[in-house]
């Protein structure tokens, strides 16, 4: 963590060489401000609101449950973005059937060409395209046992 150093205005004279100690302070003081060093000026809330301060630089305890509370307007915003996604869009989920003979565990990834849109009974249609991550478990292409939930990640 950088240390805040007060610099006396009388030490910074126009047209005169700068002392190395003052040069180091001029270099380190902006870092000390961001890190919240003792004696450093505090960054005001409006500055943090426009993302000029990263979470890693916030003092422990500065972000409280109250500040992070989700309001109904935030929930509506998130749900509105999810509900507006098209089928097979990156970030969407789908019930797909694995066409390979292998067992698929959560976290496994497959190309859409190895998967088919599916009903819970295992009836299939076309391939979704894209790249998908298994979010459940599928037992090969064995009827309904090959059907599970998938997340499109690319």
Q: What is the pLDDT of residues 14-67, one digit of tens each?
A: 888 888 898 899 889 999 988 888 999 887 766 666 665 555 555 555 666 565
Report the pLDDT averaged over residues 1-22: 87
* Angle made by CA atoms 117, 105, 124, in degrees to the nearest 5: 15
CA 68 to CA 52: how far, in whole Å?
Answer: 18
The overall pTM is greater than 0.95: no
Whether the CB-CB separation of 139 and 146 falls below 8 Å is answered with: yes
**Helices marked H in the chain — which ranges?**
20-35, 45-49, 65-68, 72-83
Residue 1 has pLDDT above 60, yes or no: yes
- pLDDT per residue as tens digits for the range 77-133: 777 777 888 889 998 999 999 888 788 999 999 999 999 999 998 889 999 999 999
pLDDT per position as a tens digit, 137-148: 988 777 788 899
Query: Rounded distance, CA 55 to CA 50, Å?
Result: 12
DSSP-H helix ranges across 44-118? 45-49, 65-68, 72-83
Give the per-residue pLDDT at 50. Answer: 61
> Is there a contact between 42 and 72 (Cβ–Cβ < 8 Å)?
no
Q: What are phi and psi of 41, to 5 degrees?
A: -60, 145
Phi, psi of 138 (to 5 degrees): -135, 135
H or E element: which one contains 95? strand 93-98
Q: Give the pLDDT confidence score for residue 61 in this predicted structure.
A: 53
pLDDT at 51: 60
């Amino acid at each position: 963590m950088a240390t805040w150093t007060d610099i006396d205005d009388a030490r910074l004279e126009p047209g005169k060489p700068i002392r190395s100690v003052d040069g180091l302070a001029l270099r380190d003081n902006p870092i000390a401000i961001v890190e919240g060093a003792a004696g450093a000026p505090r960054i005001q809330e409006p500055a943090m609101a426009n993302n000029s301060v990263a979470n890693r630089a916030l003092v422990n305890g500065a972000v409280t449950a109250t500040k992070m509370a989700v309001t109904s307007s935030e929930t509506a915003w998130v749900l509105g973005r999810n509900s507006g996604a098209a089928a097979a869009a990156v970030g969407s989920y789908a019930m797909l059937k694995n066409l390979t003979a292998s067992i698929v565990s959560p976290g496994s990834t497959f190309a859409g060409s190895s998967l088919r849109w599916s009903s819970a009974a295992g009836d299939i249609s076309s391939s979704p395209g894209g790249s998908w991550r298994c979010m459940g478990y599928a037992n090969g292409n064995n009827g309904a046992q090959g059907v599970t939930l998938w997340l499109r990640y690319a």
